[in-house]
Amino acid sequence: PSCVLSVHDVNNVYHVPLLLLEQKLHRILAEKLQLSSIPKLEGRLDLTMNGLEEKATMWNLCEGSVANEKVLAMLASGQEDLDTLGGISRSMIDWARMAFKLDGFHVSVKIVIVGKYTGLQDSYLSVIKSLKHASMAVERKLDLIWVEAGHLENDFEGDSGGEEEYKAAWEKMKSADGVVVPGGFGTRGFNGKVAAAKFCRENSVPYLGICLGFQAMVVEYSRNMLGWEDANSTEFDEETKNPVVIFMPEIDKENMGGTMRLGSRNTAFTHSKHDDGSPSIAQIMYKNASVVSERHRHRYEVNPER
């Protein structure tokens, strides 16, 4: 029975380690795995565990409870001395502060994700987690709104029964504080992503294009601002006269598996200022560095000769 633990509903998932701590999971694991018998851990177990369970009443997660208020008061006081806090490790102090801080976020930020696989949202799990962590950093409650890319296309509106979904998709776009357009493969929904990029540019809505989403932004700008009406990616139109996104020369066109450009790659800023004299926002974000190294995972790139 001592090893049967309860993990009930809590305000946010980051309270779960505190809930398990209250029920002495760390002690159970140390005993069952015989961690105290490992020479390298000698003297370290007490440093990270001693006294933690004595604070069980502090980790009471019932909303509005006296214990909850005590935790908040303690964290707000800035007390971080281990002796004062009964032996709680520094890492758990920081974790508790973060978990309880999230409960106090009341201002929401609406982020629309325009994707091709919205029926299986796990396809965008890394994007979702990144957005959650970013919202935590700016102290906002994340309100994710999903839009199927194809529903933004004019052709979809003309389909039987598509008018309502088309209208609903654009209403969601208009409610956004920011838009993220992640990657994907194939032509389906690409024009919807292009339409999303156009809407954001014309309405000054922050837009983050990842992989195919970035390609859509380049294609949109080329078509509507540069006047290259047939601008496209060679993935979708190999005969276009304006191939603004091209297949990388070092990639194998015959084999799809394991042929992406992967890992860190240096990218140089070639234009520190725009034609009107304004500075490059991208370069400012990188603290005016002349070369940056970023992770890549793709098979197409913006045509450097266009």
For 99-114, how does the pLDDT look when each residue is reduced to its tens digit (9 = 90+)? Answer: 888 888 999 999 999 9
Which candidate, 177, 175, 210, 180, places its Cα nearest to that of 196?
Answer: 180
For 18-36, how does the pLDDT look when each residue is reduced to its tens digit (9 = 90+)? Answer: 888 778 787 788 788 887 7
> pLDDT band at residue 66, thresholds of 50, 70 and 90?
very low
User: What DSSP string describes 228-246?
Assistant: -TT-EETTT-TT-S-EEEE
Q: How many CB atoms lie within 10 A of CB 148?
A: 19
pLDDT at 185: 83
Instruction: Answer yes or no: is pLDDT of 10 > 70.
Output: yes
For 238-251, how does the pLDDT look when each residue is reduced to its tens digit (9 = 90+)? Answer: 999 999 999 876 66
Which candidate, 212, 211, 306, 304, places its Cα nearest to that of 262?
Answer: 211
Instruction: Answer yes or no: is pLDDT of 50 > 50.
Output: no
Which pTM was predicted? 0.76
> pLDDT band at residue 231, thresholds of 50, 70 and 90?
very high
Lowest mean pLDDT among 57-61, 199-203, 221-225: 57-61
Furthest-apart CA pair in the chain: how many Å? 72
For 191-208, how does the pLDDT look when each residue is reduced to its tens digit (9 = 90+)? Answer: 999 999 999 999 999 999
For 144-169, how does the pLDDT look when each residue is reduced to its tens digit (9 = 90+)? Answer: 999 999 999 987 755 556 788 999 99
Helices 212-224 and 190-203 cross at an angle (nearest 10°) of: 60
pLDDT at 48: 43
